[in-house]
Structure 1
Amino acid sequence: MATLLHIDSSVFPGEASSTRSVADAFRATWEERHPQGTVIYRDLAAHPVPHITADAWSAGYAAAAERTPAQSAAFALRVELMEELERADAVLIGAPMYNFSIPSTLKAWLDNVLLLGRTAGETPSVEGTPTVVVASRGGSYTPGTPREGYEFVQNYLEAVLGGTMGLDVDFIVPELTMAGRNPALSALVPLYEASRERAFGEAVGRAKELAERFAA
C-alpha cells in the first residue's frame, strides 16, 4: 500500500491554521482511499528536529568508518529523516509564510534531509516523488500585487524541493488569511474566503488524483 509523508510546520494548532486545515483535508481524502496505507507524520512545531550542526553536516560527506562518535550520533537522525522521505510514495508539506519565508523548523528539516549524492544532486533518491505544498500567507504575493517581490516561500521551495531534490512539486496557496483579523484588510474578506474554498477544493482533488495513481 502507498505511503504518505506528512510534514506540518505551522505554529498554530488545528483549525486556527489555514495550512493545517487544508493539509488535513488532503490527508483525510488520501486516507479514505488508502485505509490500509501508511502515513508518516511529523509535526515540526510540536517536535522540531535539530538545526544542522557541523558534525551532522560533515558526517554526510565522510565514510562511515571514518566518522567520529559525535558525527555518527548527529548523522543518525539525518538518516532517519532521509529514509522517511525515501519511503514515501507522496509527500504533503505545510509551509506557511512567516515574515516572507518558511518557518525555521521546516528549514531545519530541509537541511537534514538534503544530502548531495543521496537525496539531491544528479540522481536524487527521491526524484519524481509527487509533493504537495500547502503554502498559506496572510496577504497576497501574486504577480501584479504590491508585494510580489517579497514572495520567498514558493520560489525557495521550488528551488530546493524541485530543482535540487528532483521532487515533483505542486503548490496549493490559501492567501489573505489575515483578512478576517486585520481591520485594514477587511475589504478583502470575500477574496480570502474564495481563496480558502479554492484551496480546500484543490487539496481534495489533488489527493484523489494521487490516490488513484497509487491504487493499482
Structure 2
Amino acid sequence: MTLLRIDASIQGPNSASSALADRVLEQFTALRPDETVVSRHLGAHPLPSDAWQTAVFGGFTPEADRTPQQVEALALATTIADELRSADAGVFALPLYNWGVSQHVKTWIDLAIIGGGPQAQLLQRKPVVLLTTRGGAYGPGMPKEGWDHNIEYLRRILVDVWGADLTVIEREFTLVGVNPALDEFTEVAAMLKKEAEEAAADAGVALATRP
C-alpha cells in the first residue's frame, strides 16, 4: 500500500494542519509499519509559480518545438498526477489562507489536472483524509460565516473531479493563544483541538484497517 501525504502549511514545526497529519500517520504506521509513505510539502518546497502556465502552453506546442522550460513543466505535471494516481490512500493537510486554498495548493491542483487530464479521476474510490485548519471561526452566526472558500473547493476537486472517498477533519481557532483578541475563546479552542486530534487518530486507524 502506498500512502501519499501532502502538506501545504507555511508554519513549519508550528503548523496545526501538519500536526494533525502527524497524528493520522502515527496511528497508520503503528498498525502498518511496512507501508510506503510518499510525502510532498508544498509549503516548505513550493512548486514553481509559473509551472502551470508554462505546462499549458507547452501542451499546445508540437513536441519538437517545445522549449526546455515547457518540457520541464510538463514533466513536473506528469509526476504530480502520477503521485496521485499511484497512491492507494491520501493524507492531505491543507490549511485555509486568506479565506481559500493557498497559492501552493492551487498550483499543485492545476498541475495535476494538466498532467492527468481534466476528466481523470486520479483518486477514484481511494480513501483520502483532508485535514484543514483555520485561525478564526467561520461557523453559523460567526462574523466570518460564509468566508471559508477552502472546504467546498477542495471537496469539488478531491471528490467530484478526482473521485476520492473523502474524510474531512477541521480545526478552528488555531490563532487562539497567538492573537490576544481571541483570548476569550481559549476553552473553546482547546476543546476543538482535542476533538480534531481524536478524529485524526481515528482516521489513521481507519486507513490502516480498511479492507
Q: d(CA) in 2 for partners of 1:185 and 1:170?
A: 28
Q: How does 1:34-73 map to 2 (within 5 A)?
A: 34-51=32-49, 52-60=51-59, 65=63, 68-70=66-68, 71-73=70-72
Q: d(CA) in 1 for partners of 2:208 and 2:141?
A: 35
Aligned residue type for 1:18: A
Q: How does 1:57-96 map to 2 (within 5 A)?
A: 57-60=56-59, 65=63, 68-70=66-68, 71-96=70-95
- Pair 185,125 (structure 1): closer, same or farther in 2 beyond 3 Å: closer
How far the C-alpha of 1:145 sits from its partner, in A, is 2.2
Gaps (5+ residues) in structure 1? none
Aligned residue type for 2:17: T
Identity rate, percent: 31
User: 1:139-172 CA distances to partner (integer Å, 9 max, x unpaired)?
Assistant: 1112332211101110111112212222222211
Q: d(CA) in 2 for partners of 1:126 and 1:179?
A: 35
User: 1:66-123 CA distances to partner (integer Å, 9 max, x unpaired)?
Assistant: 662443322111111111111111111111111111221111111111248x4542x5
Q: Indicate the SS of the match to 1:141.
A: coil
- Pair 30,108 (structure 1): closer, same or farther in 2 beyond 3 Å: same
How far the C-alpha of 1:62 sits from its partner, in A, is 6.9
Q: d(CA) in 2 for partners of 1:213 and 1:17?
A: 28
Q: How many residues align?
A: 209
**RMSD (CA atoms):** 2.0
- For residue 158 of structure 2, what is the aligned residue in structure 1? 161
TM-score w.r.t. length of structure 1: 0.88
Q: Indicate the SS of the match to 2:171.
A: coil
Q: d(CA) in 2 for partners of 1:162 and 1:62?
A: 31
